[in-house]
Structure 1
């Protein structure tokens, strides 16, 4: 296999010519900017040290509407004389009839909304995207979807229509279920551009000639659920030949066109359907459907019964002792009022008695494994209900299997947890909050980037992080952050803004995208946001002290100028034995040990990022800051024996993972961590922030056997105790279902599932170097341990597939690897040998 020495790219009218370079990933387009709606075909040719390739088959990309002046359509709003309360607001139907003088040779529809919309053309649903336009910081960015509708148009009469509901724009969102986060009125913007056979281009769009009414969807909310009365359905409403009786003219809406963008992420789609594993009867007309898997999405129900039959579907993650769906563990409490809120996730449908009807709610979503169905006129079978899995249609890039089936189930549970929380934004849970918590994503993104291509998904989210960032540099806890119209501290949740470990997502997520994909542009794009966050943290450390420390030491020590112990921090959230705390006390606790560690981590990364971007002055500035913060942390929290205070597993893990411990104390600090684990009965003691690093730190500190012991720990708190108690996704709390079978909090939170990175990087051994990016260089360094006889992993890197597969037979270790073109790898065997490996397959063996 030859090595590339040059390339040539042709794209439209642009020709790079022969470029002497081994680059084959993220090569920039160098041609003129094409206009709006342009399709550009491109192809590539390469030269290697053994010859010249043929031209590749052509591919293409297409531009959308690039400038506000390209929009001839105007925003319109449906008529709403009375707006019902949140959660009970109906869908609106909007439509427009038009004529085409000839067949369509090429046609595009461009659409977006304030709310969630579905587009229809001549009775057919347009495209397969769900929950469009997606969830963004709508005041700053609104995504436009582009559809090829050439095949849906006909000469003569046509009708274009849309279904419009609250969605994220004004529906209930977040822990406190606040509504109207971005506005009080729905709106729609659609432009249709049709090139007809004669060569003429016809442009149509929303405007005063559109009309609106209500239909079968009598209520729709992303959290509360969807209610449909099929007896109210307006059959053929988006088809030619139907009248517009009882339709009202739309109202003009004055909204900005400058914030319209295309999404860098794939869309949300229906990605899988699941047949229930069982349907159980609870009593007359009451059944429980079990999908066998906790998912995000909805169910499709057929056999709806005679006209007037009303079914109620309640979606949950667990069953009570009576076999019924239980929801109590998903009910949040309003911290401002003390009110216990409902769990939502209830759909309702009234049958019209038509045999061809089916109920599939596409203007809500639920996190669930079980569905209680009430109101059935007869029996309900597995043929009547289908689970529909809905999330961002990310490309799978990583796989792992090994000889232990429970470890495989743990891996799949973590994968499913991420799938359930990747619905347009990386959320914490798909049922109670569905919010883009920053801390969760920063700690899971390295794992996610192995499993899926999350580059565009993360870039979209990072743009919203920067948009919602406070002027003083604070990063919001959730991104996007609906309802925040001012930077204030008089609201409970907004008063918690600016936490270490959560706000550090501003630095850590771009860094991990750079490491996994080699995309330097994301660092450029996010530089100002990263700097603003680190400067906020450094300034707060310099200007404020925690009251407890001030009382103990009235005269501050010199190092305290770099000790970040003030403000609110979530800290090592939900360590074993912890549940939601009394916030009146919790928010006053000194968590400087955690916050200072993260300040050092982010300042260190910022110095490295500055070097990559050629910002030499910033390299020196942030390297000095990192050194000063590290010194302050050492002066305050580590003793001469390597013992860290507070004396927790998490603090020892974090100190070793973040490079806070002097070299001469690393071994004693690791030994202290081992002691803490043994004193806990060989159980983990970490919460949100340190769990991803626990097993890698032990393995890399000479305690590989203990890392495997924790992985295989059967009793709680542990990962496999979740699996043994029936988890199909990762739980928010270590005792998500306790020994008595009682559920607690969310049963689908991916954060603790970051442990599977240990399976990818240590068990299978596929590792990025600390100073490399995009897998152009990488290592395969498997670390076999107890109870695993074989393991295999594959990762589709930007350069191609990497494979690592090993087994132990007859006392010998056998390894097979595959190295993709354009890369180099170092293979390190358990016997200590290192071999540099060229692209292609290779096999090795040594004594185990």
Structure 2
């Protein structure tokens, strides 16, 4: 009996020990293609990722086991009917491909994973996650593309339409058509999905309820190459008995009829809005049925009587058809739709996060520059639209004009916005009241860039409840934060985030008010900032596909993507086209994404070969140079040739990753030849390149072209900045080079002085003038919401907090902590959600002691670079240079300490 008690006691101790061990490690935050439990995955080889949360320090994964099943109940090692990976020896926990399995359209797959550490101790299985496949085959689509008859087919509407547009004379455009279909559901629905592509934009509803929160959907593509569709779970929207599905279509970019300098009215894809949709239902008894777009639908013009993405939206509430999208409505007077061929592009599920409304703003001030004209000031520059809330007699027309600045008379100034649009009517909405109590309205197919809204036609003086500003953008989840003891830097950081969000509407843009164009240079200059601050991988994956669609067979690229053709006529060249090379590389560095490199590789190779046909003795002169410089211009051939070098060098590195040895050798040789040509042409003496501009000097350093001239060029750059009173003198390219060239080479002190300026030219000068977004020009002219100078946010993360990727361990598998403990700061902190988990870094200064706290996620390691002239304690242990985890860099006067996962406190005295 005594032996039995001892045995039981030991058993409970062992069990308790195992329970404690398991509790210390959890596998969480499972994602498929970067998304949590997504519906509508449109890739044949989905990639699975997970995060390991461990209270144990130095945790590294040594193996994993994945179970995938067709239902949650089958997720056991014995019954997983899709895949039981078994124990796979690997430390990989990011973007693990699920391949060699035929995945079925519409099928939902459930999965979970467990891991082992280096001591071969297994974790518990994770919670169950899932993904659902999209329509993977062309014949999965049974619906037909529908369009509406032209406006002249509704004779009674012609005269009304003329009155709507008489005042502002916009280009011709039909009313937004509405489509409806009544159908019956006889049995209880277990699952229902709506698959819909309505282009330009669509608003779907079932039984009178709008489906989802998406706006401006689907995202803009080159419609003759790719057309996106959305997938909605509509299970709880259907009733037993009669149901109605309704869709309203807007013009968007598909039918951009407004004449502008960029020529979208001549786009090869342009046509009337059309819709393809199907509702697929699975009933409780296992039977299925499908409702598709076909001849049985009905259509009529809706109350949106005018919509142009550049000009605005007019809504006549007196023309609303009550109940049109509900049961019991008599649609006998509605017409049959047109069956059309639809766009030529391939249908793909939209895996980018949708555009949604994310924030609301109450006006900070209301002024009245003229009788009956009111200007609402939101106090912040945003992209989005205004929502009206008012009571007025039927027929009252309220006009809203949007702008980001005021003229001398206190009215909105649209001159900069209108300069490239025929007719000069831009960013103007109209609402015609129906006179039935309180009316609330906002545009459906429109967004503007603005801080001010000028409103006329109100029946009485307004209060702040009449108008609300609504911010909209691609709703990428936050992935990071930064702040420090310098309020100016915090304001710059916030302005950068605002500009980044304002300039992502399904594709990255330059500005939300004047152009809304996908300028490639602006996008790649801000991409690192985007990846530090947001979960932007899906957004960039989508847009890189757009770039691939746009590339000509010669390899040539456009400066704006998508483009109707104009993007090939001005501005394209290496400095802008480099988006196709750099953004995939950044995604590899920041997320460990090799797939995007593989997908873009043939396009990049074709582009580099194309540049070879445009080079003379390895010097490339085409394209824009350092656009929007503060004062000094730098010849475009310097920056274009440097990007040609970067393209060849990165292409060689990609080839090495994939084992393409011949390509690796070929493009490495090309890169060396370009480097030699660059130095032969532009290097003079005493470290000076070109005419010695800050952009030329920092370009040579940042792009890795200096070789033995590095120290001399760095000195020349620092001298140039000092002579300029510690101000920058660069445009959009040079500004990114400048801060990184300095900080990467031990001169963060100089970079800090540049960012800390409050006089022209500087970010601080904008903030002093009240900026809440970044501007296009250092002198404040032109757009006040541009992202091209936004890399400063990435500089905050890299240098003031010290969070960096390690070039030799992609995706933050090893984190390089390299903080600059700026004497002017008392504290700085940042966090970044890597694919492995949250990296945190923050430091405080108290008298002569700096305390640096860092968090390293499980399954990663960290290298911390610190000043070599300090006494250092790591986790209360004095650091010595004779231990295996410490290396000394005498040349730079630093030491590097290697640390495992967990929380660490470092003190410097």
Give the TM-score, by structure 1 length.
0.91
CA contact (8 A) 2:856 2:862 kept: yes
Q: Does 1:350 align with 2:387?
A: no
What residue is the counterpart of 1:186 in the other structure? 273
**What per-residue deviation string (whole Å, max 9, x for no partner) do you get for residues 49-70 of structure 1?**
4532211111111012111111
CA contact (8 A) 1:297 1:390 kept: yes
Alignment of 1:8-19 (within 5 A): 8-12=65-69, 13-19=82-88
Cα 1:395–1:519 change in 2 (3 A) is same
Q: Residue 436 of structure 2: SS of its match in structure 1?
A: coil
Q: Residue 248 of structure 1: SS of its match in structure 2?
A: coil
What residue is the counterpart of 1:391 in the other structure? 473
Alignment of 1:411-450 (within 5 A): 411-450=493-532
What residue is the counterpart of 1:202 in the other structure? 289
Q: Does 1:61 align with 2:131?
A: yes
Distance across 1 between alignment mates of 2:262 and 2:667? 38
Q: Residue 131 of structure 2: SS of its match in structure 1?
A: strand
Shift of 1:501: 0.6
Deviates more, 1:569-578 or 1:405-414: 569-578
Distance across 2 between alignment mates of 1:463 and 1:770? 25
Cα 1:389–1:227 change in 2 (3 A) is same
CA contact (8 A) 1:230 1:352 kept: yes
What residue is the counterpart of 2:375 in the other structure? 288
What residue is the counterpart of 1:766 in the other structure? 803
Shift of 1:135: 0.5
Distance across 2 between alignment mates of 1:119 and 1:48? 48
What residue is the counterpart of 2:235 in the other structure? 150
Find the structure with the greater CA-based Rg.
Answer: 2
**What per-residue deviation string (whole Å, max 9, x for no partner) do you get for residues 426-474 of structure 1?**
1111111111111111111111110111111111001110111112111
Alignment of 1:346-745 (within 5 A): 346-481=428-563, 483-484=564-565, 494-496=568-570, 498-542=572-616, 561-565=617-621, 568-577=622-631, 591-663=636-708, 665-736=709-780, 744-745=781-782
Shift of 1:386: 1.7
Q: Does 1:127 align with 2:199?
A: no
Q: Residue 459 of structure 2: SS of its match in structure 1?
A: coil
Cα 1:825–1:590 change in 2 (3 A) is closer
What residue is the counterpart of 1:549 in the other structure? none
Cα 1:578–1:670 change in 2 (3 A) is closer
What residue is the counterpart of 1:251 in the other structure? 338
Distance across 2 between alignment mates of 1:356 and 1:234? 18
**What per-residue deviation string (whole Å, max 9, x for no partner) do you get for residues 738-797 of structure 1?**
xxxxxx211111111211222110111111122231100111111022422110000000
Distance across 2 between alignment mates of 1:689 and 1:599? 14
What residue is the counterpart of 1:586 in the other structure? none
What residue is the counterpart of 1:176 in the other structure? 262
What residue is the counterpart of 1:232 in the other structure? 319
What residue is the counterpart of 1:307 in the other structure? 394
What residue is the counterpart of 1:20 in the other structure? 89
Deviates more, 1:382-391 or 1:170-179: 170-179
What residue is the counterpart of 1:585 in the other structure? none
Q: Residue 425 of structure 1: SS of its match in structure 2?
A: coil
- Aligned residue-pair number: 797
Cα 1:88–1:538 change in 2 (3 A) is same
**Match 2:896 to one of 831, 834, 846:** 834
Distance across 2 between alignment mates of 1:716 and 1:776? 40
Cα 1:456–1:642 change in 2 (3 A) is same
Q: Residue 751 of structure 1: SS of its match in structure 2?
A: coil
Q: Does 1:37 align with 2:37?
A: no
CA contact (8 A) 1:68 1:257 kept: no
What residue is the counterpart of 2:4 in the other structure? none
CA contact (8 A) 2:189 2:281 kept: yes
Shift of 1:321: 3.1
CA contact (8 A) 2:625 2:635 kept: no
Q: Residue 56 of structure 1: SS of its match in structure 2?
A: coil
Shift of 1:356: 4.1
Distance across 2 between alignment mates of 1:846 and 1:452? 32
Distance across 2 between alignment mates of 1:256 and 1:428? 27
Alignment of 1:132-143 (within 5 A): 132-143=217-228
User: Unaligned regions of 5+ residues in structure 1, if any?
Assistant: 335-339, 485-490, 543-560, 580-588, 737-743
Shift of 1:179: 2.0
CA contact (8 A) 1:119 1:126 kept: yes
CA contact (8 A) 2:511 2:783 kept: yes
Alignment of 1:40-51 (within 5 A): 40-49=109-118, 51=121
Shift of 1:204: 1.1
**Match 2:174 to one of 58, 67, 89:** 89
CA contact (8 A) 2:281 2:290 kept: yes
CA contact (8 A) 1:170 1:180 kept: no
CA contact (8 A) 2:218 2:350 kept: no
CA contact (8 A) 1:133 1:144 kept: yes
CA contact (8 A) 1:708 1:786 kept: no
CA contact (8 A) 1:86 1:179 kept: no
Q: Residue 794 of structure 1: SS of its match in structure 2?
A: strand
Cα 1:226–1:256 change in 2 (3 A) is closer
Distance across 2 between alignment mates of 1:840 and 1:447? 26
Distance across 1 between alignment mates of 2:447 and 2:435? 25
**Match 2:203 to one of 108, 118, 122:** 118
Distance across 2 between alignment mates of 1:166 and 1:44? 45
Deviates more, 1:720-729 or 1:237-246: 237-246
Shift of 1:720: 0.2
